[in-house]
Structure 1
Amino acid sequence: MASKTAKTAQDILMADFQTLVRDTEKLLEHTATLAGDQADEMRSQIRDSLVRARETLKLTEDSMRQRGEAAVVAAEEYVQTNPWQSIGIAAGVGFLIGLLATRR
């Protein structure tokens, strides 16, 4: 569920940033020819896109933080219920890192 929410938030974020880029490109193209109300409307659209992108980025950040906290809790629970297996896994990973480090 959290993964699906994070993926959706990431998709929304990407779409918002793409919209922001398109709006910015339009603004740059028409800067020389736009004046007055048209320029204000274009700037308003860009501001709205920025606000949406920031909100989506905040949602994504919150989702990632929740997933990280859930992973930490799950790891702590696993280590507490299986301390010897955890020590064995840590020793094995350390051994592999040691092997890789000595090859260089």
Structure 2
Amino acid sequence: MSDVKVVLSDAEDLLKAAAATTGEKAAELRERAAQSLKRAKEKVQDVQDIVVEKSKIVARATDDYVHDHPWKAVGIAAGVGFLIGLLVNRK
């Protein structure tokens, strides 16, 4: 995500510079900004793919645990629900 922030910051700087410039230089700056935004989009897609894959792994592990220990899972869910209920009622 830090790479994406850097690329977006660079693209923003290039667009600001292009707004202050005219002619061929402005077109070049806009093109560089477009390329930076394209790289940012690719990086975001890569991050999204990684997050989706890790989420699937965690979901599979959770499902296996619940199937292996159903009563323990029910107890944990009840405890978490109770705590959330306490927190909601406090406000």
TM-score when normalising by structure 2: 0.87
- Pairs aligned (count): 91
Quote the residue 1:49 is aligned against. Answer: 36
2:12 corresponds to 1:21? yes
Q: Which runs of 5+ in 1 are unaligned?
A: 1-9
Quote the residue 1:103 is aligned against. Answer: 90
Q: Which runs of 5+ in 2 are unaligned?
A: none
Q: What is the Cα-based RMSD across aligned positions, in Å?
A: 1.4
Shift of 1:58: 0.8
TM-score when normalising by structure 1: 0.77
Aligned-residue sequence identity (percent) comes to 31
Query: CA offsets, 1:47-78, max 9 Å, x none?
Result: 11111111111111111111211111111111
Stretches of 4+ aligned residues off by more than 6 angstroms: none
Query: CA offsets, 1:20-57, max 9 Å, x none?
Result: 11111211232xxx21x222211211111111111111
